[in-house]
Structure 1
Amino acid sequence: MRDWWREAVGRLRSDGTAVVELTAAAAVAWILAAVVIGHPDPFFAPTAALVVLGESRGRRLRQTVEILLAVAAAVLVAELLVYALGPGTGTVLLVLLLTTTPLVVAGARRALVVQAAVSAMYLVAVAAPNGTLMPFRFVDALIGGAVALAASQLMAARDPLAPLVAQARRSYADLADLLDEVNAALRACDEAAARAALGRAREVDDCVGRLQAAALATGETLRLGLRRRHLGRLAEVEATVRQLDYAARNVRVLARAGSTLTRRHTATPPELATAIDALTVAVRAAGEALATGVSGHDAERHAARADAAALEAVRIAARLLRSDPPLPLTMIVGQIRATAIDLLRGVGQDDVAVLDRVDDALGLAPA
């Protein structure tokens, strides 16, 4: 029970601000629609505010505006159809179809599409228009969406780099967690676990895409807030994201080779687990180097740790090549080398120097 309370308090500390922001946005939207404008039953004003604000996190401004317009358009279509056709089964089906389609086209997440469907059902079954063509609910949705848009920009302007810093840590943590899963499967020679890790590896591109989206959204926020002095850090992030993309692909190939190795029921040498452990440390340290660099803190300590751990992973993996290992194991060693190169380039090491240092750690003679 004590652990549960500790975790609950931790979640409240990390997400408590979001609760306050959502509540405040919904309340402001309700006041604007009900008190200032005087709309009857302004249900869709706070609803749209909550939905759009929830969707705006990590989104670019253009995408947020698209979501806002899609929500309002969906409400307008539903309101007009109910007014024209009246409540009924056919109206429900048509409203659901035409309400959710604009959101899918706008790239909304499934949670928003489901929320739009629920709102449409409410409009048909509970709050059908009472013989008036005045689109109160459409206006309410616009009000709520506008409040959410303003709130999202205010939140971003308060600490524009925070979402990017958090996403940088999360993206590298996802890659490190995948390496841990692959390593555990190899240690146990567990074919099922290796296949599961390979399945997750095929989805690891999402972590790169989220980091790219966060960098774009942060750039827009900095330009709107006239904080252009921070834009130089984004150029470094974009270069690092490219290297993270390469590293994610390398780890995916590593996971595939690991799956092949476990399918052959080949016992993996302990050096392999140690090498992957060191590579995992390098990934996490590289993520911290990026996050601290973006936030303006000293990133050199984390970059040095990533450098040392990546080269250590290569040195340990090099020992496995001395005993004529099977092909899947050789492929894993190759991917450890390639991932180490991408990590070192990602923390700002010189390209040519990285290749020489990594190949030296692998025991290759200089060109």
Structure 2
Amino acid sequence: MALRVTWFRTAFGRLRDGWLPVVEATLAATVAWVIDTRLIGHPQPFFAPAAALIVLGQARGQRMRRAVEVVLGVAAGVLVADLVIQALGPRTTWTIFTVILLTIGLAVAIGASTVTVVQAAVSALYLVVIAPSAETWVPFRFVDALIGGGVAVVASQLVSARDPLAPLVAEARQTFGALADLVDRITEALQDHDEPAARTALTEARGMDTAVDRLQDEVQAAGEALRLNVRRRRHIGRVRAVDASTRQVDYAVRNVRVLARAAVTLSRLPTPAPPELTAALRSLAEAVRVAGKALAADLTGDGEAADRYADEADEAALTAVRTAGGLLTGGPPLPLIMIVGQVRATAIDLLRGVGGDDAEILGRVDEALGLPPV
């Protein structure tokens, strides 16, 4: 009984979190069916709702391209199947073999995506095995894909029509906040000389790639939504700037992961971490948080706040490097040197993410670290 209750709670939680895609796919497939049957008058509108589901099954930000690929796949499959049927006849073993071989082979040869390859093969196979021999079916089949793909693209934009950048802003704040919290946990583990806590932080650091992937997906989704939204297309430049920033976030996550690994080693040494190191890491965490605020402010069009947060991130990052650089005197242990190096690398990636000349950033960071100018 308890197992059933747990299962129902889990199922309800999944539906609560994922109800929007369910409604989106159901309505899109139904609308595609209605348009194809009532407005176009197609007697067998199977591929209109099927195309809608195929397109909506893709990640946000890739649906426009997938809609085009579905239509191209349909055209390729129909063309190949029609030619082979005329040569070998319908519904024979050799026809099926030849159609599938040629369709998939040609799609792979031209470098088509998996979606295009599958859609071309399914279209060709449907034409050979199921579709009636009437020639009027071929344009119907193509129109099916146009209707289904078009309805899916429109449906995917309805949720973000009012504010296409809102999901990206929320994801950016969450990603930067999670990375800053991770640096805080590494700091606490070093301050408490707690090896298990440092190992837990390292495990979390290894999972941060998922957060970066979600952020990059939202960048693609926002770009797609803005390209389809004529009134808001002027904001596309912001998304392109954020796209460049997310690459630096990816580098920063990798640096923090190396930092966490060195923290595990340092926490195993008999002597505790020096207080200057924890102070440097706190400044680094603050730099990450403020950099996230700068990115969010830039996306929302608040240029004044974005500049202010960028300056604060710059100051916090350089403070972290300057404080960590003071630990390099007196022959520190190798794990401590590695952490200082990752503080420097993370600071560079953060400052690149909030904007600025690359050479100037490297010069100011190295100056804060105490390195001689190049």
TM-score by length of 1: 0.66
**1:130-174: CA deviations, max 9, x gaps?**
333422444322221122233345555432323432453466468
- In the other structure, the counterpart of 1:91 is 96
- Equivalent residues of 1:48, 1:144 under 8 A apart: yes
- In the other structure, the counterpart of 2:291 is 286
- In the other structure, the counterpart of 1:149 is 153
- In the other structure, the counterpart of 1:339 is 346
For the aligned residues, what is the CA RMSD? Answer: 5.5
Q: 1:11 & 1:312 partners in 2: Cα distance?
A: 44
Q: 2:35 & 2:126 partners in 1: Cα distance?
A: 20
Q: 1:315 & 1:168 partners in 2: Cα distance?
A: 27
Deviates more, 1:21-30 or 1:170-179: 170-179
- In the other structure, the counterpart of 2:131 is 129
- In the other structure, the counterpart of 1:139 is 143
1:290 CA displacement: 1.5
Q: 2:171 & 2:199 partners in 1: Cα distance?
A: 32
- In the other structure, the counterpart of 1:213 is 220
What is the aligned counterpart of 2:26 among 23, 33, 40?
Answer: 23
- In the other structure, the counterpart of 2:168 is 164
Is residue 314 of structure 1 aligned with residue 317 of structure 2? Answer: no
1:44 CA displacement: 1.2
Deviates more, 1:205-214 or 1:326-335: 205-214
Q: 1:78 & 1:363 partners in 2: Cα distance?
A: 68
Q: 2:48 & 2:55 partners in 1: Cα distance?
A: 11
- In the other structure, the counterpart of 2:251 is 249
What is the aligned counterpart of 2:35 among 19, 32, 38?
Answer: 32
Q: 1:270 & 1:216 partners in 2: Cα distance?
A: 44
Structure number with larger C-alpha Rg = 2
* Secondary structure of 2:164 counterpart: coil
**1:222-249: CA deviations, max 9, x gaps?**
5xx1335x53xx5455445435434533
1:42-81 matches, cutoff 5 A = 42-55=45-58, 57-59=60-62, 61=64, 63-73=65-75, 76=78, 80=82
**1:286-338: CA deviations, max 9, x gaps?**
22432243134655786577557545643553454244234454243123123
Give the partner amino acid of 2:299: V
* Secondary structure of 1:31 counterpart: helix
Q: 1:107 & 1:122 partners in 2: Cα distance?
A: 18
1:45 CA displacement: 0.8
Q: 1:60 to 1:122 in 2, by over 3 A?
A: closer
1:347 CA displacement: 3.8
Q: 2:16 & 2:334 partners in 1: Cα distance?
A: 49
1:282 CA displacement: 3.5
Q: 1:152 to 1:45 in 2, by over 3 A?
A: same
1:196 CA displacement: 10
* Secondary structure of 1:25 counterpart: helix
Q: Structure 2, unaligned stretches of length 5 or more?
A: none
- Equivalent residues of 1:53, 1:152 under 8 A apart: yes
Q: 1:72 to 1:19 in 2, by over 3 A?
A: same
Q: 1:117 & 1:277 partners in 2: Cα distance?
A: 55
Q: Structure 1, unaligned stretches of length 5 or more?
A: none
- Equivalent residues of 1:179, 1:276 under 8 A apart: yes
Q: 1:22 to 1:81 in 2, by over 3 A?
A: farther
1:29 CA displacement: 0.4
